[in-house]
């Protein structure tokens, strides 16, 4: 994009700046629209599973329901509790929303179609996703209320517990791909399957890690059955209890942007990203743009997220901790050793 602006006679520095801003808007604006649409899709999936209609009044098929809800919260009054820390109370939802957007800078939507194609893209995502807990913790503490504070403590423990497992899972991915660059990680998945499965994006060696990563993604985004931070029977609405108006909406936007991000990471790290699902010459897979394949995989994983939320009951807190520390952590560690041994025998022998 920078070369395009330079060809129009723009100075190189200005061209780079304008191209960067244009790239950010090209990602952020469709992402906001996508968040509105997946909130609608989420509600429709829950309704279908519960044999209900879901949103069906505002706009054709209820498609404008999310925009109506957004307008409603925009027009509401922002109420700040008397005993709250005003500055932290207001900045907490902004942190949650901003951090949720920042991670998308390194997501490759097609071969070379990425805002920042950096060599440490995976480390960048790990660092940015770790910052998300600050918004939740600050909101719980700044509210100066018992239940939001309990929720903030739960969120901190939950995210740390599952980020440890996610970190080891990503070590396995990096060992196999031999790169931290997300484009290279996608390309490393071409045609692999221990020589058994001739498929793009399905790797038998990494499949157990893919399953653990999917479940850990639910916990990392505090989605059911791991939504202990918002357990309404125990904590009213958790860290969001004292929030209203746009500050409440920013938490929702951040949460769903994170859900989309985790669905995307599942597709990119283990299921081929923008690659077609199969490497078969008889079918013109490669005539379909890579971004279409990526969006299809994102929607598939988002459907799984919604399906789980609508059907699986909430875990107890001790079950949540046990799953993270006693099951996922040992399995991911053992699998790193297995991947290392396999690579030593095959690739580096």
For 256-281, the pLDDT digits (tens) are: 999 999 999 999 999 888 888 776 66
**Cα distance between residue 159 and residue 257, in whole Å:** 17
> Rounded to whole angstroms, how far apart are CA atoms 150 and 83?
17
Q: Which parts of the chain sit beneath pLDDT 70?
A: 1, 5, 191-202, 231-236, 279-282
Those residues whose C-beta lies under 8 Å from the C-beta of residue 219, and which sit 6 or more positions away, are 158, 161, 162, 226, 320, 323, 324
DSSP 80: -
329 lies in some domain: yes
Please report, for residues 86, 292, 313, the alpha-carbon distance to residue 41 in angstroms, rounded to integers and kept in the order given. 35, 18, 20
Q: Has residue 37 been placed in a domain?
A: no
Is residue 5 a part of any domain in this protein?
no
* Cα gap 200→22, rounded to integer Å: 32
Flag whether 19 is in a domain.
no
Give the per-residue pLDDT at 104: 92
Q: CA 253 to CA 260: how far, in whole Å?
A: 11
Q: What is the pLDDT of residue 322?
A: 92
Residues spanned by the domain of 162: 76-348
pLDDT tens across 6-57, in order?
777 777 777 777 778 888 888 889 998 999 899 999 999 999 999 999 888 8
CA distances from 101 to 66, 153, 168 (A): 19, 24, 24
Give me the phi and psi of 57, to 5 degrees please.
Answer: -110, -50
Q: Residue 283 — left, alpha, or beta (φ > 0 → left; ψ -120 to 50 → alpha)?
A: beta
Query: Residue 113 in 3-state DSSP?
Result: strand
232 lies in some domain: yes
Considering only CA atoms, which of 178, 180, 176 is closest in space to residue 192? 176
Place of tokens 């199969």: 278
Minimal CA–CA distance to 220: which of 297, 128, 296, 118? 128
Distance CA 59, CA 45 (A): 18
Considering the domain boundaries, does residue 45 fall inside one? Answer: no
Say how many C-beta atoms besides its own lie within 10 A of residue 277's C-beta: 15
Q: What DSSP state is assigned to residue 60? A: G
SS3 278: strand
Residue indicated by tokens 């006679």: 9
Q: Give pLDDT, residue 242.
A: 84
Q: Residue 85: left if φ>0, alpha if ψ -120 to 50, beta else—which one?
A: beta
How many domains does the chain contain in total? 1
Q: Quick one: DSSP state of residue 110?
A: B
Q: Determine, yes or no, domain membership for 20.
A: no
Q: Say if 149 falls within a structural domain.
A: yes
Residues 6+ positions from 203 with CB-CB distance below 8 Å: 176, 189, 192, 193, 194, 270
Task: Please give the pLDDT value at position 334.
Answer: 94
Please, what sign has the CA dihedral across residues 36, 217, 203, 347? positive
Against a cut of 0.75, is the pTM above it? yes
């Amino acid at each position: 994009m920078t070369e395009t602006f330079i060809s129009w006679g723009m100075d190189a520095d200005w061209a780079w700046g304008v191209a960067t801003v244009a790239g950010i808007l090209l990602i952020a604006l469709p992402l906001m629209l996508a968040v509105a649409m997946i909130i609608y899709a989420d509600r429709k999936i829950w309704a279908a599973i519960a044999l209900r209609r879901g949103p069906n009044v505002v706009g054709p098929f209820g498609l404008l329901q999310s925009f109506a809800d957004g307008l409603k919260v925009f027009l509401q009054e922002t109420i700040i509790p008397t005993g709250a820390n005003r500055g932290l109370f207001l900045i907490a939802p902004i942190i949650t929303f901003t951090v949720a957007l920042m991670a998308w800078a390194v997501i490759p939507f097609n071969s070379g179609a990425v805002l920042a194609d950096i060599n440490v893209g995976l480390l960048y995502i790990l660092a940015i996703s770790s910052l998300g807990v600050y918004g939740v913790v600050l909101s719980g503490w700044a509210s100066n209320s018992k239940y939001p504070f309990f929720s903030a403590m739960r969120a901190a423990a939950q995210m740390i517990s599952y980020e440890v497992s996610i970190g080891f899972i990503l070590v396995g991915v990096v060992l196999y791909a031999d790169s931290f660059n997300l484009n290279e990680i996608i390309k490393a998945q071409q045609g692999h399957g221990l020589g058994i499965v001739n498929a793009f994006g399905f790797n038998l060696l990494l499949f157990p890690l893919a399953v653990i990563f999917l479940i850990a993604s639910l916990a990392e985004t505090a989605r059911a059955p791991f939504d202990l931070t918002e357990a309404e029977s125990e904590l009213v609405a958790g860290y969001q209890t004292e929030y209203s108006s746009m500050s409440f909406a920013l938490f929702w936007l951040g949460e769903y942007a994170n859900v989309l991000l985790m669905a995307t990471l599942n597709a990119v790290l283990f299921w081929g990203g923008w690659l077609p699902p199969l490497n078969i010459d008889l079918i013109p897979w490669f005539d379909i743009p890579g971004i279409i394949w990526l969006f299809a995989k994102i929607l598939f994983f988002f459907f799984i997220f919604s399906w789980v939320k609508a059907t699986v009951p909430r875990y107890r807190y001790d079950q949540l901790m046990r799953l993270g520390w006693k099951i996922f952590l040992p399995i991911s560690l053992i699998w790193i050793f297995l991947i290392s041994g396999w690579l030593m025998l095959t690739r580096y022998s």
